[in-house]
């Protein structure tokens, strides 16, 4: 019985990042929320849904002069809708709290 040699081929999992021309730097951190418009981004996952009622109650009590708006962006939404919603959020908010919990 003749045994065949096993050959393992190791691949490099790193890839070239495409689309760098569309990258934007992160926004600067908001150190004071006084008078700011804060978006709360809910992706509809269970952890986010569980946290949302607590945020809706606690944030306005702690930061009286900020305006809070909840935005829903389900993971199942189509790309065009996601882009439109994200653009609306960016235009309407000074900062965003993203609820991405599983």
What CATH number is attached to the domain comprising 53? Answer: 3.40.50
pLDDT of residue 59: 92
Q: What is the pTM of this model?
A: 0.70
Strand partners for 96: 39
d(CA 36, CA 32): 8
Residues 6+ apart with CB under 8 A from 32: none
Instruction: State which residues of the chain have pLDDT below 70.
Output: 1, 19, 101-102
Give a yes or no: residue 90 inside a domain. yes
Residue 57 structural domain: 33-99
Q: How many domains does one find in the chain?
A: 1
pLDDT of residue 68: 95
pLDDT of residue 25: 80
Give a yes or no: residue 22 inside a domain. no
What the block records as the tokens of 18 is 């495409």
Give a yes or no: residue 20 inside a domain. no
pLDDT of residue 1: 62
């Amino acid at each position: 019985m003749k045994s065949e040699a096993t050959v393992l081929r190791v691949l490099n999992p790193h890839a070239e990042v495409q689309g760098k021309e569309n990258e934007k730097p992160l926004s600067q951190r908001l150190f004071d929320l006084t008078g700011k418009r804060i978006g709360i981004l809910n992706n509809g996952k269970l952890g986010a849904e569980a946290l949302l009622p607590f945020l809706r109650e606690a944030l306005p009590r702690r930061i009286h002069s900020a305006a809070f708006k909840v935005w829903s962006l389900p993971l199942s939404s189509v790309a065009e809708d996601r882009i439109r919603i994200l653009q609306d959020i960016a235009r309407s908010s000074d900062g965003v709290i993203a609820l991405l919990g599983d």
